Amino acid sequence: DSGVTQTPKHLITATGQRVTLRCSPRSGDLSVYWYQQSLDQGLQFLIQYYNGEERAKGNILERFSAQQFPDLHSELNLSSLELGDSALYFCASGGVGGDYGYTFGSGTRLTVV
Amino acid sequence: GESVGLHLPTLSVQEGDNSIINCAYSNSASDYFIWYKQESGKGPQFIIDIRSNMDKRQGQRVTVLLNKTVKHLSLQIAATQPGDSAVYFCAENRLSSNSGYALNFGKGTSLLVTP
pLDDT category, B7, cuts 50, 70, 90? very low
Cβ neighbours of residue B113 under 8 Å, at least 6 residues apart?
B12, B13, B14, B15, B19, B80, B81, B82, B83, B84, B85
Q: Is B34 on the interface with A (CB under 8 A)?
A: yes
Cβ neighbours of residue B66 under 8 Å, at least 6 residues apart?
B33, B50, B52, B54, B55, B56, B72, B73
CB B88 within 8 A of CB B95: no
Q: Would you state the pLDDT for residue B66?
A: 97
Q: What is the pLDDT of residues B13-23, one digit of tens each?
A: 999 999 999 99
Nearest to B43 among A59, A99, A104 (CB): A104
Residue A44 with chain B: CB contacts under 8 Å: 105
Q: Which residue of B has its CA nearest to A56?
A: B100
Q: Would you state the pLDDT for residue A100?
A: 66
Q: Is A106 on the interface with B (CB under 8 A)?
A: yes
Instruction: Average the pLDDT over each of A10-19, A24-33, B18-27, B101-110 and give the range with the smallest value.
Output: B101-110
Q: What is the pLDDT of residues B43-94, one digit of tens each?
A: 999 999 999 999 999 999 999 999 999 999 999 999 999 999 999 999 998 7
pLDDT category, B6, cuts 50, 70, 90? very low
In the DSSP assignment, the letter for residue B84 is G
Residue A59 with chain B: CB contacts under 8 Å: 97
Q: What is the pLDDT of residues A20-49, one digit of tens each?
A: 999 999 998 999 999 999 877 788 999 999
Q: Would you state the pLDDT for residue B16?
A: 97
Partners of B114 in the β-ladder: B14
Nearest to A43 among B89, B97, B100 (CB): B89
Most distant CA pair in chain A: distance in Å? 38
Q: Is A60 on the interface with B (CB under 8 A)?
A: no
Q: Would you state the pLDDT for residue B2?
A: 41
Q: Is B1 on the interface with A (CB under 8 A)?
A: no
pLDDT higher at A26 or A98: A26
